Amino acid sequence: MLKMLCKLLAIFYMAVLGGCQTMGPKITDLSDGRTGQVYYESYLDSDLTLTGSVQLPESVSGPVPAIILAHGSAGVGYRESTWGSFFREKGYATMVIDMFGPRGFKPMSGPNVGGYDDIIDAFNILKTHPMIDPDRIAVMGWSFGGGNALNAASMTRRRGEGHALKAFVSFYPVCGVSAVPFIGEEDAKILVVIGTEDTYTEVFQCERIVEKGKQDGRDVQLIVYEGAYHGFDGNLNTTFFHGKFGRQRVKPSATITMRARRDVLTFLEASM
């Protein structure tokens, strides 16, 4: 009785901290073919209920490939929405995950919470959907989410009960504190994307981790966009001070974003 009361209180305070987030019934799979907001258990913490939004393309005649979208430090927003729409127009299902809300964390309020296990948990739920091909699921992440997308490349089929993520797209991760995992499935492909004007990370740092990844036998590519800033595919145009990384510049570019979408689609079509 006491344990149940503690759990109820924990849920109450999480809702308050997370902006009164409403939790739905927790599921163990998507075998009923549902879409929309779903709630499921964390692999690492059975008391934590994770959440994601699952959407299918408009026209679905059979199992389709899917993309898990992992947000950055600003939380779920513009990039996940616009890239999600783009992917669905191209025939991909999407699952936008929220690493902050379930933990009652307000974006930009301190060290980020969540990690690559959230991506793997999302994969294990998503692969059970009858309209999604379990062998053609990728992840795309931005900044903090980009680092988690890289870390998720350590996943093996053992964790996925015979299946594993097929491709990993990492947009402007902080390459100075990130790395390409030396373990994971050999046939999984990795793409790192960075801009020459990114103030969070230097191009040479991303070149270094990509080269190290290749030496470790990983199939990893690097795309560098001339003139692109951190968040070039977002909607923020600002300069601010980051407590850990100092003065930062975030600036969007519609032209570079269009190019990036073509490049990412080409990468995914070749990888999945």
CATH of the domain at 92: 3.40.50.1820
Percent of the chain predicted with pLDDT > 90: 84
Q: For 135-172, write each residue's pLDDT tens digit.
A: 999 999 999 999 999 999 999 999 999 999 999 999 99
Q: Which domain holds residue 40?
A: 21-226+261-271
Confidence of residue 22 (pLDDT cuts 50, 70, 90): low
Residue 233, domain member (yes or no)? no
Residue 26, domain member (yes or no)? yes
| Global confidence as pTM | 0.90
Residue 8, domain member (yes or no)? no
Residue 108, domain member (yes or no)? yes
Residue 49, domain member (yes or no)? yes
Residue 246, domain member (yes or no)? no
State how many domains the chain has.
1
Give a three-class secondary structure readout of the chain: CHHHHHHHHHHHHHHHHCCCCCCCCEECCCCCCCCEEEEEECCCCCCCEEEEEEECCCCCCCCEEEEEEECCCCCCCHHHHHHHHHHHHCCCEEEEEECCHHHCCCCCCCCCCCCHHHHHHHHHHHCCCCCEEEEEEEEEEECHHHHHHHHHCCCCCCCCCCCCCCEEEEECCCCCCCCCCCCCCCCCEEEEEEECCCCCCCHHHHHHHHHHHHHCCCEEEEEEECCCCECCCCCCCEEEEECCCEEEEECCCHHHHHHHHHHHHHHHHHHC
Confidence of residue 5 (pLDDT cuts 50, 70, 90): very low
Residue 237, domain member (yes or no)? no
